[in-house]
Structure 1
């Protein structure tokens, strides 16, 4: 569990997200919608065939929006796969982190999604 999850904080660093989107609500919504689609696609691919490249792609996307728990879990999965470990525990952690982040994003988007 990440420090943010333990502290009960949101799955996204909203300050980071605002900085990345220049405080533009429309741009924020677009970036979050893109993350929703990409994170779901990456998880589907990782569950079908775990791959360090796909984990790295999700890591970069998560860092871009301030999804620190997703980024940490994706980094752990990438490292496990590069070591030759199957990454089962790391994939489970990533799946949970993505679910939490996506639920937060969907709630934040509300009717804008």
Structure 2
């Protein structure tokens, strides 16, 4: 059975793709993490998309200690799949959990990531 093409390498020339922090998700990083298993990539991205909605809503209403815990969890998940901008913003919240502006900024980045996931997993 032929191996399915991964997201990062699905298009001609994709095999020469370099990691990118410009996209909402670094697909080259994700492909390395999933060993090129496209079905696994889609499953992970869909799980992440659901997770980030819940976490961002909870961050808004959480106390300081819970914000730190939620931000740390989000940071780890985001790094694992290559959502590096989300990870950076989660780390900023982890370091300054009382700064509600950081949570508002995270909302915008999360919207971009969710739109990107929806576009590439159709």
TM over 0.5: yes
| Unaligned stretches of 5+ residues in structure 1 | none
Number of the residue aligned with 2:83: 67
1:16 and 2:32 equivalent?
Answer: no
1:98 and 2:89 equivalent?
Answer: no
Measured in 2, the distance between the counterparts of 1:77 and 1:12 equals: 20
Q: TM-score, normalization: structure 1?
A: 0.83
The alpha-carbon deviation at position 49 of structure 1 amounts to 1.5
Q: How many residues align?
A: 99
Higher helix share: 1
Number of the residue aligned with 1:40: 53
The alpha-carbon deviation at position 102 of structure 1 amounts to 1.0
RMSD: 1.1
What does 1:40-59 correspond to in 2, within 5 Å?
A: 40-50=53-63, 51-59=67-75
Number of the residue aligned with 1:80: 96
| Unaligned stretches of 5+ residues in structure 2 | 1-20
Measured in 1, the distance between the counterparts of 2:99 and 2:34 equals: 33
More RCO (CA 8 Å, sep 6+): 1
Structure 1 ranges of 4+ moved more than 4 A: none
Measured in 1, the distance between the counterparts of 2:80 and 2:103 equals: 20
